[in-house]
Amino acid sequence: MKKQLAFLLLLICTVAACKNDPPEEETTTNTNMIAAPQNISYNIVASYPHDTSSYTQGLIWVDNTLYEGTGVEGFSKLMKVDLGTGKAQQSISLDSKDFGEGITLLNGKIYQLTWMNNKVYVYDAATFKKTGEFGWDYQGWGITNNGTELIVSTGSNNLYFVDPATFKVKNIVGVFDNNGPVGNLNELEFIDGAVFANVYTSDYIIKIDPASGHVIGKMNLEGLLEKAGKTVNYGDGNVLNGIAYDSTKKSMYITGKKWPLMFEVKIN
């Protein structure tokens, strides 16, 4: 009888624990049929100064204008930046308690994530006037858009496709390569129908098919700063992060957290 009672209590506790556990964020899939990502080669065509006080979290290029979002509590900003000088032409600071994250611009509005503050800020792109705010249940890492939907990363292997009017999730796509889930998806950029993502703490930018979530390409940017004769203290978290795309020039602008340079690269 004691054994039966103990088993019953264990079963009840197990069920209760399952109900109280948070939902598993990482999706799974069969990776047997996924081809290995192709190597993406590139050329560095130019470099530009970058403000070493900027802990870069988001980077976008729209209408010949560079926008940058930065992080760290008390230092988080949204800025319009002069590419040639690296200096801010227009800037707004977030609340000192906010840790700013990725940014994107859609339909005249800039959306800026926060890391663990569960808030998303919306600004008028021309004036930087705050026009709205949304709640977000997950951590905020990177954000881009495909022209109709916002695409958000949370540090997992998921991409969240979000309604820009309500910030409600419409679809979730798990990201995988031939070895399994690819997590730490950080800063995002939508380029010619694909999502490019910084893999946080790595020297890689990956190219993702947004329909399947398969990683179809990989850029190795190891030693990018060193090749230009510059260094940074990577131990302080100053890793590769920041992707913007100029569709007119077919150029990518790439930098990192507190890096002294921003690089213009073209994919071969």
Task: Please enumerate in sequence order all residues whose Cβ is within 8 A of that of 217, keeping only pairs 6 or more positions apart, or say none.
Answer: 37, 38, 39, 40, 194, 206, 207
pLDDT of residue 235: 87
pLDDT of residue 171: 97
pLDDT of residue 24: 39
Angstrom distance (rounded) from CA 110 to CA 108: 7
pLDDT of residue 3: 34
pLDDT of residue 33: 80
Rounded to 5 degrees, φ, ψ at 163 are -70, 120
Summarised one tens digit per residue, pLDDT across range 124-171 is 999 999 999 999 999 999 999 999 999 999 999 999 999 999 999 999
Summarised one tens digit per residue, pLDDT across range 177-187 is 999 999 999 99
Query: 2-16, 56-70, 237-251, 253-267: which has the minimum mean pLDDT?
Result: 2-16
Binned at pLDDT 50, 70 and 90, residue 58 comes out as very high
Q: What are the DSSP E strand ranges found in 94-227?
A: 100-106, 109-114, 119-124, 130-135, 142-145, 150-153, 158-162, 169-174, 176-177, 180-181, 185-191, 194-199, 204-208, 215-220
Residue 42 three-state SS: strand
Angstrom distance (rounded) from CA 113 to CA 111: 7
Mean of per-residue pLDDT scores for the chain? 90
Summarised one tens digit per residue, pLDDT across range 211-228 is 999 999 999 999 999 999
pLDDT of residue 30: 56
pLDDT exceeds cutoff 50 at 207? yes
Residue 139 three-state SS: coil
Rounded to 5 degrees, φ, ψ at 186 are -120, -120
Which among 186, 139, 126, 182 is positioned nearest to 157, based on CA atoms?
182
Binned at pLDDT 50, 70 and 90, residue 13 comes out as very low
Structure tokens belonging to residue 213: 């979530």
Q: How many angstroms separate the Cα of 39 from the Cα of each of 36, 137, 207, 219, 256?
A: 9, 35, 10, 6, 21
pLDDT exceeds cutoff 80 at 6? no
Binned at pLDDT 50, 70 and 90, residue 29 comes out as low
Average pLDDT over residues 8-37: 51
Q: Which residue segments constitute the domains of the chain, with CATH numbers given?
A: 47-267 (2.120.10.30)
Query: 64-68, 233-237, 248-252, 258-262: which has the minimum mean pLDDT?
Result: 233-237
Summarised one tens digit per residue, pLDDT across range 81-118 is 999 999 999 999 999 999 999 999 999 999 999 999 99
pLDDT exceeds cutoff 50 at 4? no
